[in-house]
Structure 1
Amino acid sequence: MSRCEITGKGPVVKNLVSHSNIKTKSTAQPNVQKKRIFSRTLNEMVRLQVATSAIRDMEHSGGFDAFILNQDDAKLSKRALAVKARIKRKISKK
């Protein structure tokens, strides 16, 4: 089961409801892609598994660095938390 490392978006259980109102359980998987994302602060590419909706949100909010710094730590994976810490350290040095 895939999970977005930045937003925490994962599989969702839902009901498919027929015309006769019979409910059948099914799961909806998020569209998660392995992507190399460029961090301007670190000046390097970072490899993460990211949902395509998160990629659109990143572009809207001003790039990867701004997006990951505004994300809640509870939603981030261990790898994404490490990247966030590296970005914070690099910003504090400047």
Structure 2
Amino acid sequence: MSRVCELSGKGPMTGNKISHANNKTRRRFLPNLNDVTLISDVLGQSFKFRVSAAALRTVDHRGGLDAYLAKTADGDLSANALKIKKEIAKAQATA
């Protein structure tokens, strides 16, 4: 299982761990990923995602999964989230 957020594309970063003696060794900063179930209002379904805590706050701020996916660039989304985004757009176009 990769350590990449399915909605924001946020992944591991690298940097230095600095000791008290100012020794520098390489380390990884991993995103805070959580397994969540988000509900689409348009489709009336729930979907499971592995999302960072920051992206989950953004989903709430933008007004839900449908609004978040509509405003997010396709390059940041996972293949699963991109498929759901297209289904939502198709459902909104027919409604």
The TM-score with structure 1 as length reference comes to: 0.92
User: How many residues are aligned here?
Assistant: 94
- Separation (CA, whole Å) in 2 of partners of 1:85 and 1:34: 22
Q: State the SS of the aligned residue for 2:17.
A: strand
Amino acid at match of 2:32: N
Distance (Å, rounded) in 2 between the aligned partners of 1:17 and 1:49: 30
SS in 2 for 1:74: helix
> Which runs of no fewer than 5 residues in structure 2 stay unpaired?
none
Question: RMSD in angstroms over aligned alpha carbons?
Answer: 1.1
Dislocated runs of 4+, deviation >6 Å: none
Counting aligned pairs with the same residue, the percent is: 33
Q: Return 5+ residue gaps in structure 1 as ranges.
A: none
Q: In the TM superposition, what whole-angstrom CA distance separates every residue of 1:61-82 from its partner, at most 9, and x where no partner exists?
A: 1111101111110111100000
TM-score, with length taken from structure 2: 0.91
